[in-house]
Amino acid sequence: MKKTVKILIILVVFVIISVIIINVILRNKQTVVCIDAGHGGNDVGAYLDKRYEKEDTLKIAKLIKQYLEEQDIKVILTRDSDEAVSLGKRCKIANKKLADVFVSIHRNSSEDAQANGIEIWTNSQKANDDIELAENILKELEKTEIQSNRGIKNGSIKGENTNYYVLNNTNMPSCLIELGFISNEEDNKLLDENIEAYAKAIANGILEKLEVEE
């Protein structure tokens, strides 16, 4: 056999074995979900009197983590204490850990104290994947006690062509949940009474999205 043919055969065998190994590794990769508790540290987020968005989001994020871990899902939090984390770092954490899903938790605020309800934002550039994730979560949240469903929104508050940083800079399906208005007493009351149900609903919505993908 010619030397070049031998080398070619060795190369082909090497490539085939590599592809098989990579496939096995990818198939065995544990599902990873990244939950992003909005704001933190000096950045308190929206607030009403002494109630801060950064505290509500952390509480919910920790509960979602607990429920997903009970289902053997690996969960990464972009922060697990009251600390300031830049938007860039939040995305880096999710991308580096190869998260399968990224969900950012926020609370809404308005000068209109009557404004209420839950809405989920998706990235207008990668809409299909994001919308599917958002729809699953919203469908589950609707089964809980919420004041109103404001629906799924594309882009950001600045318009459909401007996306939220964390949705624009994460490589996996992602969405940003505004879990009621901190400026609305009834939304706050509902959140406090149903915080576990809300967290469980979000976890279930994420699980549904992951099952579709597998």
Whole-number Å distance between alpha carbons of 203 and 70: 10
Nearest residue to Zn ion, by Cβ distance, number only:
106
Number of H helices, E strands in the chain: 6, 8
- When asked if residue 117 is in the footprint of Zn ion (CB under 5 A), the reply is no
Query: Which CB atom, from 38 or from 180, has the smaller least distance to Zn ion?
Result: 38
- When asked if residue 155 is in the footprint of Zn ion (CB under 5 A), the reply is no
> Hey, which residues between 28 and 47 contact Zn ion (CB under 5 A)?
38, 45
Query: Which CB atom, from 39 or from 65, has the smaller least distance to Zn ion?
Result: 39
- When asked if residue 65 is in the footprint of Zn ion (CB under 5 A), the reply is no
User: At 104, which amino acid appears?
Assistant: S
Whole-number Å distance between alpha carbons of 41 and 82: 5
- When asked if residue 173 is in the footprint of Zn ion (CB under 5 A), the reply is no
**Which long-range contacts (C-beta less than 8 Å, at least 24 apart) are formed by 129-132?**
129/173, 130/167, 130/173, 130/174, 130/175, 132/173, 132/209, 132/212
Quote the least distance from Cβ 54 to Zn ion, whole Å: 8
Count residues near Zn ion (CB under 5 A): 3
Query: Which CB atom, from 80 or from 208, has the smaller least distance to Zn ion?
Result: 80
Residues that bind Zn ion (CB under 5 A): 38, 45, 106
